[in-house]
């Protein structure tokens, strides 16, 4: 039995040049172009600091999220162009198996081609998961957390988050769960291997997200790897990325708006980590909940996941 979603790869051209150019554009060229324009953003950032009209924390957040918006926005744009120009297929082939025309032969509006019920289901489920994931460590050791709410700072951050995170997370879902998984299916016939490889690449892409200390790099990579497995399993089971996109966007909004560190490495505004946690506490917080979520996912969607893992392409 062939996955209809992965089978979308055969709707276009799949020469090695297309994959090479697309990868270079979305993973590398976008960053080079962004760096050029970041000089202007840096000037904007320094100008704000000179006038000192708002706190340094907020100006730092503005610069960071404008940078993210520029880098991932370019990657998103390059991916759309590459899919159309080099692969000669519809960008929605990376989203789900919806048809471009309805049964009457009329074009289907883009918003009707997205299964919003699955997206919002992912948002709700991951919101509950993140809330539990925050409060369990708090009850274990509340001394490591302090409430740090500032209204102006919070509103500014929320606006920035909702402008940037949906683009950033959606691009990663399109690329890793759509483009990469579909591309791997051309050469690899076992779904388990496809999931492991794409999740490993996804994990390595997040290796320095929380710092360059060895423990942080391990936890970042392994937690992203586990998230990649969860997202890939749901994508193949659903024949689309809507559910995993809901998970991913919600995860990043929570991570940036609620969780932060006392050393200022990220931009949490409601709940910050007041001191470094020991390795075992960090392991519990970063890894164990994801493993539990993966096990629960497998139990509740056992039949669908079993079919996914048995497929050959």
The secondary structure of residue 271, as a DSSP letter, is E
State the Cα torsion 33-26-205-267 to the nearest 10°: 50
pLDDT at 51: 47
What global pTM score does this model have? Answer: 0.89
pLDDT at 81: 95
Strand partners, 168: none
Could you report the average pLDDT of every consecutive run of 10 residues in the chain (313 residues)?
A: 84 93 88 67 55 52 76 92 95 94 79 95 95 81 72 79 92 97 93 96 85 78 95 96 97 79 50 58 79 95 87 57
pLDDT at 311: 64
Alpha-carbon distances of 211 from 226, 264, 266, rounded to whole Å? 19, 11, 10
Strand partners, 146: 272
* Angle of the 116-140 helix axis to the 279-286 helix axis, nearest 10: 160
């Amino acid at each position: 039995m062939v996955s209809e979603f992965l089978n979308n790869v055969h709707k276009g051209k799949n020469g090695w040049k297309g994959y090479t150019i697309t990868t270079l554009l979305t993973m590398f060229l976008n960053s080079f172009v962004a760096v050029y324009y970041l000089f202007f953003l840096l000037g904007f950032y320094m100008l704000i600091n000179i006038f000192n009209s708002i706190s340094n924390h907020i100006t730092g957040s503005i610069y960071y999220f404008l940078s993210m918006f520029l880098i991932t926005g370019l990657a998103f744009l390059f991916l759309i162009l590459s899919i159309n120009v080099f692969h000669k297929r519809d960008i929605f082939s990376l989203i789900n198996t919806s048809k471009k025309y309805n049964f009457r032969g009329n074009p289907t509006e883009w918003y009707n081609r997205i299964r919003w019920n699955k997206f919002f289901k992912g948002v709700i489920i991951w919101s509950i998961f993140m809330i539990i994931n925050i409060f369990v460590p708090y009850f274990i050791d509340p001394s490591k957390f302090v409430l740090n709410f500032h209204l102006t700072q919070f509103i500014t951050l929320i606006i920035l988050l909702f402008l940037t995170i949906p683009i950033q997370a959606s691009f990663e879902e399109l690329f890793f769960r759509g483009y990469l998984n579909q591309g791997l299916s051309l050469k690899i016939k076992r779904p388990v291997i496809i999931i492991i490889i794409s999740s490993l690449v996804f994990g390595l892409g997040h290796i320095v997200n929380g710092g360059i200390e060895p423990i942080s790099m391990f936890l970042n990579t392994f937690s992203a790897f586990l998230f990649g497995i969860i997202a890939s399993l749901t994508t193949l089971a659903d024949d689309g990325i809507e559910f995993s996109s809901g998970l991913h966007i919600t995860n990043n909004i929570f991570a940036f708006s609620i969780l932060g560190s006392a050393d200022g490495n990220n931009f949490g505004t409601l709940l910050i980590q007041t001191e470094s946690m020991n390795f075992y506490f960090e392991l519990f917080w970063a890894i164990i909940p994801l493993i539990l979520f993966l096990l629960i996912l497998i139990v509740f969607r056992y039949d669908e996941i079993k079919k996914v893992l048995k497929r050959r392409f």
